[in-house]
Chain A
């Protein structure tokens, strides 16, 4: 019994000693849960979009940084709904917030401003 207790203490201490760091930089809200739900059921694009909008809203109202990729993912869903101007705005937000995304976002902005609303296999019914 005491051996077990000792081992348990050792295990706890090793966890506390910082084997795995767990400090959150961003508030992701329901990002991963709703992306998973969307992959399980593509009809849940609306829920994913709402979850991304909530992440953006929460970050902005808390004066926190919107996590990397979230504006872009949101914009891409807007583009799939035919809201190309909204999509372009989102892509520009992503690029302004995360300079690493600029090449890709500029390209997507060009696509969104020159093409008709796109439809992908994920968004259209079979």
Chain B
């Protein structure tokens, strides 16, 4: 009882001073700072999962958090269609290409390369878990250099949120049935994006349309 209380107290102190728990090692922002990109082009997303729809569905979640961080984000659906019309729909080819060429075509400062590593639901007898795993790499469209990267793994398992007992089992069975009928990855993808982009210390520094643009060096 008491040790747990003490742990909680220490944790509270750490949080109060550190701002955020589990902060990863601070990434190197020097290249990012020297370029200070204003605009981000999200190119076709690499899909390493068996769900062929994952890249499209994911695309519907990414423009908003980047724009809210203060960047100009190129129209994701229009970019996808235009690139596809120009024979650039193969995400693997686009990701291995020279960022500077795309930079010239679109006039962007930076390019966001995202790959979906996992986008699946696992069914056990009475419970289920939904997993989304993503890799983000932002490269300069001027120099081709990497400016920032992030990795997110989000697992949602309904049974973790329920109490035990018969009522819990029934609730799990219902949750599993719903998830099985139509697993909804969107809330997880949104959560992954928020953690990747917005977390102090590891996310993207504020963009030019944010009041903190160029003033958040203490955090990034």
Residues of A whose CB lies within 8 Å of any CB of B are 2-3, 6-7, 9-10, 13-14, 17-26, 28, 31-32, 35-36, 38-40, 67-70, 72-73, 75-76, 94, 98, 100-104, 107-108, 118, 120-122
Interfacial residues of chain B within 187-210, with CB under 8 A of chain A in the complex: 194-195, 198-200, 209-210
Interface contact A10-B107, CB-CB below 8 Å: no
Interface contact B61-A32, CB-CB below 8 Å: yes
Residues of B whose CB lies within 8 Å of any CB of A are 1, 4-5, 8, 11-12, 15-16, 19-21, 38-39, 53, 56-57, 59-61, 63-64, 67-68, 70-78, 81-82, 84-85, 105-109, 186, 194-195, 198-200, 209-210
Interface contact A73-B199, CB-CB below 8 Å: no
Interface contact B15-A76, CB-CB below 8 Å: no
Looking at chain B's contact residues, the main secondary structure is: helix
Interface contact B59-A76, CB-CB below 8 Å: no
Interface contact B12-A26, CB-CB below 8 Å: no
Interface contact A32-B60, CB-CB below 8 Å: yes
**Known A3-B1, A32-B60: A104·B74 in contact at CB below 8 Å:** yes
Contact among A18, A98, A102 with B200 in the assembled complex (CB-CB below 8 Å)? A18
- Residue ID in chain B nearest A35 by CB atoms: B60
Alpha-carbon distance A28/B76, docked complex (angstroms):
14
Contact among B16, B39, B81 with A120 in the assembled complex (CB-CB below 8 Å)? B81
Looking at chain A's contact residues, the main secondary structure is: helix
List the A side residues contacting B64 at CB < 8 Å.
28, 31-32, 67
Interface contact A35-B199, CB-CB below 8 Å: no
Interface contact A35-B84, CB-CB below 8 Å: no
Interface contact B56-A67, CB-CB below 8 Å: no
Q: What are 5 residue pairs bridging A and B, where the CB atoms are less than 8 Å apart in the complex?
A: A7-B8, A20-B195, A28-B64, A35-B60, A76-B82
Interface contact B77-A35, CB-CB below 8 Å: yes
Contact among A10, A107, A121 with B12 in the assembled complex (CB-CB below 8 Å)? A10
List the B side residues contacting A22 at CB < 8 Å.
198
List the A side residues contacting B74 at CB < 8 Å.
68-69, 72, 101, 104
List the B side residues contacting A102 at CB < 8 Å.
107
**Known A10-B15, A19-B20, A100-B107: A36·B81 in contact at CB below 8 Å:** no
- Residue ID in chain B nearest A102 by CB atoms: B107
User: 16 more A-B contacts (CB under 8 A) besides A14-B15, A72-B78?
Assistant: A3-B4, A10-B8, A13-B16, A14-B20, A18-B19, A19-B200, A25-B67, A25-B68, A36-B60, A36-B186, A38-B77, A69-B67, A72-B75, A76-B77, A102-B107, A107-B105
Contact among B61, B71, B78, B84 with A76 in the assembled complex (CB-CB below 8 Å)? B78
Alpha-carbon distance A67/B71, docked complex (angstroms):
10
List the A side residues contacting B76 at CB < 8 Å.
35, 69, 73
Contact among B16, B53, B75, B195 with A73 in the assembled complex (CB-CB below 8 Å)? B75
Interface contact B194-A68, CB-CB below 8 Å: no
